[in-house]
């Protein structure tokens, strides 16, 4: 899939690029994600694989001058990932109606420090939800980092968009960190950060999705 451009109504000076990135774009987006989420969290090759083989999307927000202002990743969960999610949330996932449903995941969403406060996170979130809805997802799940610094938390934005909390999981990224070797921006090489798991039913979303 080639990248497309979407000019938003809410920020006329922002252009969204939705689609598979080339090597240079993947490296640029990975650098921005790693700046906020931890060194090594996102690899350029993984971003390329996400969009070509992983049922996912990389969305980039750019200024008219071409500066990268934000990036987000999302994917439609395959059966293995869906099962792993339900194993971590055996009770909450059933209560939320995830069992037997097509589920999408908002994997990451980052806005460059100089561009925060412009509503870019909300713009990229909406584009991610549109992608997952087009992929047949009935629900979207995501993990919000538990942080005392609001600059490092997406919780408020997600709840304003209609996400509701399912559970809080301690040391949520520890296994992923051990496997991938990334550094937590708060804990370094031994991440103990908790995550709040949230869910959004697309058919009952803010715009009456069915």
CATH of the domain at 146: 3.40.630.30
Q: What percent of the chain has pLDDT over 70?
A: 83
Domain of residue 123: give its range. 4-204
209: in domain: no
Is residue 210, in this structure, part of any structural domain at all?
no
- In total, the chain counts a number of residues equal to 210
pLDDT recorded at residue 5: 46
Residue 20, pLDDT > 60, answer: yes
Report yes or no on 166 lying in a domain.
Answer: yes
pLDDT attached to residue 177: 75
Query: Residue 116: its pLDDT value, please?
Result: 87
Mean pLDDT of 161-184: 84
Over 90: is that where the pLDDT of 203 sits? no
Residue 101's CB: how many other CB atoms inside 10 A?
A: 15
Domain presence at residue 92: yes
pLDDT above 70: residue 1: no
Maximum CA extent, the chain:
48
Q: What percent of the chain has pLDDT over 90?
A: 41
Nearest Cα to Cα of residue 185 among 39, 73, 30: 39
**Residue 89 domain-assigned?**
yes
State residue 139's pLDDT score: 93
Give the model's pLDDT for residue 149: 59
15: left (phi over 0), alpha (psi -120 to 50) or beta: beta
- Domain for residue 150, yes or no? yes
E-assigned strand segments in 64-121: 68-76, 103-111
- What is the total count of domains within the chain? 1
């Amino acid at each position: 899939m080639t990248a497309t451009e979407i000019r938003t109504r809410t920020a006329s000076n922002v252009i969204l690029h939705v689609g598979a990135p080339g090597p240079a774009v993947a490296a640029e987006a990975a650098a921005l994600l790693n700046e906020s989420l931890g060194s090594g969290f996102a690899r350029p090759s993984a971003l390329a694989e996400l969009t070509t083989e992983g049922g996912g999307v990389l969305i980039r927000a750019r200024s008219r001058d071409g500066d990268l202002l934000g990036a987000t990743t999302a994917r439609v969960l395959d059966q293995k990932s869906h099962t792993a999610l339900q194993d971590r949330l055996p009770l909450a996932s059933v209560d939320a109606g995830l069992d037997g449903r097509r589920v999408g995941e908002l994997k990451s969403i980052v806005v460059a420090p100089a561009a925060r406060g412009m509503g870019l996170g909300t713009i990229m979130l909406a584009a991610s939800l549109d992608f997952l809805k087009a992929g047949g997802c009935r629900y979207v799940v995501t993990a919000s980092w538990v942080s005392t610094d609001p600059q490092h938390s997406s919780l408020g934005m997600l709840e304003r968009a209609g996400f509701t909390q399912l559970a809080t999981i301690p040391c949520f990224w520890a296994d992923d960190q051990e496997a991938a070797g990334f550094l937590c921006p708060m804990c370094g090489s031994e991440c103990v950060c908790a995550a709040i798991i949230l869910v959004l039913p697309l058919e009952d979303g803010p715009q009456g999705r069915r």
